[in-house]
Structure 1
């Protein structure tokens, strides 16, 4: 799924979540509170990760931002529009844990799909596909089919597809969760480079503390269900796109990983934190 920003209010936040709660009601009337009074803002071009224990509502919050579900209470805006209008205006791109590529379409065909669905002329589709294939380093695989690619390569195609219509926001729900550790780190390197080049804001769901720290400007730590924001760690480890492999060996990186781990376990007082490279 992908989208381009249209009808975007100048100077507006990429995401503005205000006092959002989500309660699910079961068949027998029992209710489950997935999210409770969550408020969060994401600035244009900012990379924000959501992390917390399983069942804390990370993916629920992502789905609400994407208008794949509706809050029980509270409001969500994307670039100054309601979540519903942002979806209709195709103001964001989405990537999930599974690449979700169509097996009967080539790599280029998968990337071009959202453009084709929205009536973009074939020459423009081809040009944009070629541009994105170069961006994700897969120019030589344009005419391959998904089953001819590794898992990491398939995810790169999915990311390229999510960027097809030049969105200013990417919503990513554990896109590297099914990959082995080495491939996952390579994909993290690719993602910070791509975000640096495109300037897109990102909301990123993950279970991995090192991944959240490496990728993010801020890490949002959520509590067990009902999901609340326990704390937010500001991670200032270099501009997006400039974080290299060596960052994972720096003391500031390990310090941030330790702080997120402590916040997840509730071992430090609540309050905004910051880690900077010296």
Structure 2
């Protein structure tokens, strides 16, 4: 993997759902790149195309126009479980498995032995302050803890790119800030780029680069989102 190349590149990538008169344009033709070490907040109201763009970048969906490539990684088949990790908004832990088994599972599926996968999983849990939850079932931990476990699972594979799709959307603001802390720390530890979609300006303002989506149209800014007046105006317009 070459550090000089983009981790992911979208070239006029667009996504339309349905056909004919019932077709819905989720993402208009979009050009963007994510470079190694990037910290990007992706903001916009519900239905603006945030999840669609992240799913294309993760290789979970195909564009209906244009293309998505991963120059520094390789082909789409090379993305998982190691190079690109996705953290979703909703619960993604497997209920019958313990916390450590949930974190270890992708590593086992990638060919690690059970012992090695568990050792790596335990290390990732420890880095996030979750070692004490290793033997608990998902139903025995809080929503915020479950999201942190999902981050540990993503981190365990030492990804080059972490894509977080509204990971704080079901949490209160304090818990959301904790999960954001964890994501930033995990990206720093793994040396990974991080792109997080959010509707919370208090989270977005922690990122140097902000991509804004409105009705499937992408714009980019490095403006100071910590300005309370600007943040208030933007947040009120996105919450409609």
| Superposition TM-score, scaled by structure 2 size | 0.89
- Would the alpha carbon gap of residues 104 and 88 (structure 1) be closer, same or farther in structure 2, given more than 3 Å must change? closer
**Aligned mates of 2:31, 2:229 — CA distance in 1:** 25
Q: Does 1:151 align with 2:143?
A: yes
**Aligned mates of 1:261, 1:211 — CA distance in 2:** 13
Q: Does 1:232 align with 2:221?
A: yes
Q: Secondary structure at the match of 1:108?
A: helix
Q: How big is the shift at 1:43?
A: 1.3
Is contact 1:49–1:205 with CA below 8 Å preserved after alignment?
yes
Q: How big is the shift at 1:265?
A: 7.9
Structure 1 equivalent of residue 226 of structure 2: 254
Q: How big is the shift at 1:119?
A: 1.8
- Residues 164-175 of structure 1: pairs in structure 2 closer than 5 A: 164-175=156-167
Q: CA RMSD in A?
A: 2.3
- Would the alpha carbon gap of residues 138 and 32 (structure 1) be closer, same or farther in structure 2, given more than 3 Å must change? same
Q: Secondary structure at the match of 1:254?
A: coil
**Aligned mates of 2:98, 2:81 — CA distance in 1:** 27
- Would the alpha carbon gap of residues 45 and 65 (structure 1) be closer, same or farther in structure 2, given more than 3 Å must change? same
Q: How big is the shift at 1:98?
A: 1.4
Is contact 2:155–2:186 with CA below 8 Å preserved after alignment?
no
- Residues 58-73 of structure 1: pairs in structure 2 closer than 5 A: 58-73=50-65
**Aligned mates of 1:142, 1:79 — CA distance in 2:** 36
Alignment partner of 1:220 out of 211, 218, 236: 211
Structure 1 equivalent of residue 108 of structure 2: 116
Gaps (5+ residues) in structure 2?
none
Larger relative helix fraction:
2
Task: Give the number of aligned pairs.
Answer: 237
**Aligned mates of 1:259, 1:231 — CA distance in 2:** 15
**Aligned mates of 2:80, 2:139 — CA distance in 1:** 32
- Would the alpha carbon gap of residues 126 and 231 (structure 1) be closer, same or farther in structure 2, given more than 3 Å must change? closer
| Structure 1 moving runs of 4+ over 3 Å | 79-83, 85-90, 257-266
Q: Which whole-Å deviations, capped at 9, do the CAs of 1:73-96 have from their partners, x for residues lacking one? A: 112122445662343674201110
**Aligned mates of 1:39, 1:258 — CA distance in 2:** 30
Q: Which whole-Å deviations, capped at 9, do the CAs of 1:231-260 have from their partners, x for residues lacking one? A: 32256xxxxxxxxxxxxxxxxx631x5445
| Superposition TM-score, scaled by structure 1 size | 0.78
